[in-house]
Amino acid sequence: MDEFQVSRGLGWFSIGLGAAQVLAPRRLGDAIGLAEEHHHLLPLMGLREIATGVGLLGSDDGAGWLWSRVAGDAIDLAALGAALGDEDNDKSRIGLAMAAVAGVTALDVWCASRMSERHEGRGLLARSEREAEDSALPEPTRKSITINRPIHEVYAFWRDFENFPRFMPGLESVEARDDGRWRWVAKGPAGRRIEWDSEIVEESPSSMIAWRSLPGADVPNAGSVHFESAPGGRGTIVRVELDYDLPGGAAGEAVARLFGVAPGKQTEVALLRVKQLLETGEVARTEGQPAGRARSTSRKYDDWLRAGL
């Protein structure tokens, strides 16, 4: 089960539940066994649910909003528990409502914990295994893009790492090995080649892929990509996280060239190229074409391509 997809599902659930509490408090109150004098509390709870749902859907890092849901669940359970002591309320229906809220609370806690673990400074590479604490460690790069292709097609393209050199700046080749691992070769300074092996550490079909380099790599690195269907059938949302450990010496220079001085920009270049490949079948370029312009009509696009070439 992928926490990103669960988080979005909880976001839509919050909005739906909140809308019901605001628009039909009497009907919902009767359904869960609350006496009429308690119905006025439901719209207030509904506004909280809607705000939380919007926050979850609008945030790449939903841990804070998920913990807000957990706090709201605790308040709802306390309110329902207090309602059990009122003789005017239907205790059996309230008991069922409490069981339902408890089940959702367990899911909220699980998802919030997973999201917090991902964003509490651990990154994809264990910080405790890196160099001295006072060294400058790069933060993981996180980017996303929407690709107008079905989720199974986008997943299948990413699952074959041999496709990576087609869109990742500075990457020369990726070859599958017989043991299920992968051999990566990147371009380095003065013709130097930087090589490392990697393995897939976690995978959920059409949902998520995570990989990391094996011990002894010149460039310790790891990455993950999450896939989810875009609203309204508009293709697939791709969320990428890349983490790497920049060593010194010639290998460090190679990494700097591979990822650029701004890793985020290099990742944007890669995602833009993936989008073009999957939507049009090729990466749009003008160099070498007699009628091609030296610049496009977009300065940002030119900067992206210049950073990745």
Domain of residue 214, CATH code: 3.30.530.20
- 254 found inside a domain: yes
pTM of this prediction? 0.52
Neighbours of 245 (CB within 10 A): 21
- Same domain, yes or no: 273 and 141: yes
pLDDT band at 221, cuts 50/70/90?
confident
- Among 119, 145, 166, the domain boundary falls at 119
- Same domain, yes or no: 115 and 141: no
The token pair at 94 is: 């309230």
202 within 8 A of 114, measured Cβ to Cβ? no
- Among 119, 145, 176, the domain boundary falls at 119
- 40 found inside a domain: yes
Report the pLDDT value the prediction gives residue 293, as an integer from 0 to 100: 44
Rounded CA gap, 221 and 198, in Å?
A: 9
Residue 55: domain span: 3-119
- Same domain, yes or no: 91 and 165: no
- Same domain, yes or no: 142 and 289: yes
- 130 found inside a domain: no
Q: Characterise 282 by phi-psi region: left (phi > 0), alpha (psi -120 to 50), beta (else).
A: beta
Least confident range of 54-68, 96-110, 116-130, 141-155: 116-130
pLDDT band at 153, cuts 50/70/90?
very high
In sequence order, the β-bridge partners of residue 210 are 202, 224
Least confident range of 88-102, 105-119, 172-186: 105-119
- 131 found inside a domain: no
- 193 found inside a domain: yes
| Residues across the chain | 309
Residue the block writes with tokens 């010639």: 250
- Same domain, yes or no: 112 and 153: no
- Would you say residue 3 has pLDDT above 80? no
pLDDT band at 284, cuts 50/70/90?
low
- Same domain, yes or no: 104 and 177: no
Query: What's the number of CA atoms in the CB half-sphere (13 Å) around residue 282?
Result: 3
- Same domain, yes or no: 144 and 63: no
Backbone angles phi, psi at 75, to 5 degrees: -65, -45
Nearest of 238, 241, 297 to residue 273 by alpha carbon: 238
The token pair at 295 is: 């610049």
The token pair at 245 is: 């450990």
Report the pLDDT value the prediction gives residue 139, as an integer from 0 to 100: 63
- 71 found inside a domain: yes
- Same domain, yes or no: 106 and 160: no
Give residues with Cβ within 8 angstroms of 295, minimum separation 6.
302
- Same domain, yes or no: 103 and 252: no
Query: How many structural domains compose the chain?
Result: 2
